[in-house]
Structure 1
Amino acid sequence: MPNDELMPIGAFARRSGLTSSALRFYADSGLLPPAEVDPVTGYRYYSADQVARATALRRLRELAMPLAAVEAVLGAGADEASRLLDEHVAEVVGNAAAVRRKAEVIKAAFRDAPGLPLAVLKGPVLADAVEQVLTAAAHEPGVPALTGLRIEADHEAVTLTATDRYRLSTRTLVPIEPPSRPWAGTVHGDELRSAVAASRRSPLVRLEAFPDGIWFRVAGHEDRHCRLLPEEYPDHRLLLASLGEVTTRLTVAKDPLLRALEELPGERVGLHVAAHGVSVMAAADEEHAGLTLPGTVVGPELRIVFELTTLYPAVSTAIGPDLLIDLRGHDRPVAIRSADRGDLTTLAMPVEPGRSA
């Protein structure tokens, strides 16, 4: 290759974003040998064709990927490279979580005051409740409190609540051992999902509260810690208290309603609750009757419209084969709960036809 098509190491460093010392290291390791080395001066020269490999190498090393893994990724096809990257990310995330847990153990050892014994709950019940309620949590970076799960404990129950402003889920659990005093806090949602995974196969889980988080203590498993979110949680109790009287109540089988929602075209769904059940239709095509499901209706007929992404998870996470749906008007939140178990309630906010939520 003619020398005028080659770049000295300094110019190539600027093009690739790697330092000259890093380029020498990668050349000696065999990951990125120069295109040519002057036999007299020892100067190293690189070609423009090597910029892409050098840039990929730099980016992989920025992910703290070991050299052997970097070499494997650079030599693999697109699908295999993606798989190797996913494996590396999973390992990094797992290591970070392990470091965080160990740090929490060390921090706990520094505390003089013991934690508050919050409650003893059945492990599988707690795991199910967390999964059900957290489906209503938000993922908007501007409202960090809504990414978490609100836990409120008193001598009668432990209440779990999550909301994304268009949907609110709440479930009450009866503790085997209640707290010595009331407690409330908003727990980091992602850490909570991870923490309760070990609870599913454990008969009992002990929750212990500290100023910075909650410990999940499960016999035979490593204790897990979940941070508390410092941001103020919305006053969801005020919302629940201001719902108003139920005007129409519908009892309908859960599975047929889910299937109707799954098969419905469009992003919005219209419900027409009438004398003997509910008609499910695309909100943009209300002239057609849609699919009519039998049910028991008490109260006047009502037409109401939802975003599918709001209504579907509210229905799918409900407990039991039959749903009890309380309606208060076309512009008021709808409560969805089990027809025979009311400890999980989800509120779904309707939208006005033709307008965004």
Structure 2
Amino acid sequence: MRLLTIGAFARRSGLTPKALRLYDSSGLLPPVAVDPESGYRFYDPAQLDTARLIAELRRIGMPLAEIRTVCTLDGPAAAEAVAAYWRRVTAENAVRARVAGLLLEHLSGRNTMSTTLTVRYATASEPGDVRDVNDDSVHASDHLLAVADGVRGPSGAAASAAAIAALVESGPADARLLSTLVDAVEDADRRVRAVGGDTTLTALVRNGSQLGLVHVGDTRAYLVRAGELVQLTTDHTWVQTQIDQGRLSLEGAAGHPQRALLTRALGVGASAVEADLGLRTALPGDRYLLCSDGVSAVVARPALHSALTTGDTPDDVVGALVRLVHDAGAPDNLSCVVADFVAV
């Protein structure tokens, strides 16, 4: 077997000698031999496939720690790891693009809309027909719409209340919507841990026509625009993970015994929770629904769409949703916030 010098290996792999020295020192791609006198590194041609993979992964910006993991996986598992990384990058870039747009508008003194909007809202939060205690919390104001579902237990209600209190006390948002949300979520997580519980949280923070969306868990946010119903959030649940991986159908998930098992919640785990964050622009005529799974898991999507599109006011919609949940037996706490954005 003829070994390659670092220069020859660099030319054939697409990596620079400097990069190869870095990957050697980090243990990612050590040479098979090092001359004890000269310190020259020598590589086996069989290492070229790994080196080329590293080069391609670096081109898409993958950190070395993640590359190290990918290099230990077989083909299908490595492909899934790269796909997961790229989904995360795509989502982060979309957020950066929206933040850049907001920043440009703020610095230039321009607004995305000349129309002034006001928000009209209604809420409901009840224990339901089976449970005696309501662990949910809701909030609605001109600047904040929020629903939190405390995980059942002695601190569930306190946890959901603590999460929403953190957002309320963060005050009205300015042009730094996402920064405000990041700080508020970190505060919410600390408060929830302090009361010894855990909770979901889905909220919209408003600054004019701009909305910052924060989401953790299986509470949901929906938007009705021009008659079309769109779910804005993705559940952080075990069954949703199985659906995303093609291992479970939507029909199978609906009746699965683990359908309420959360993969993310405030107050869970050794480190701070990773929340989904996003930016939206509210338009006149938009209707938003935030709700706990006591609503979304009970009311079928067609009935949900009908209630949201036929009710004249947020109060009408909330009343219709509460009736639908009770008609289905209201097996869990039920909470919802409905908000209409109206031009003034």
TM over 0.5: no
Q: Which has the higher strand share?
A: 1
Bin for the TM-score computed over the shorter chain: 0.3 to 0.5
Which of the pair is proportionally richer in helix?
2
Q: TM-score normalised to the size of structure 1?
A: 0.35
Identify which of structures 1 and 2 has the higher relative contact order when contacts are C-alpha pairs closer than 8 Å and 6+ apart: 2
Which structure is larger by alpha-carbon Rg, 1 or 2? 1
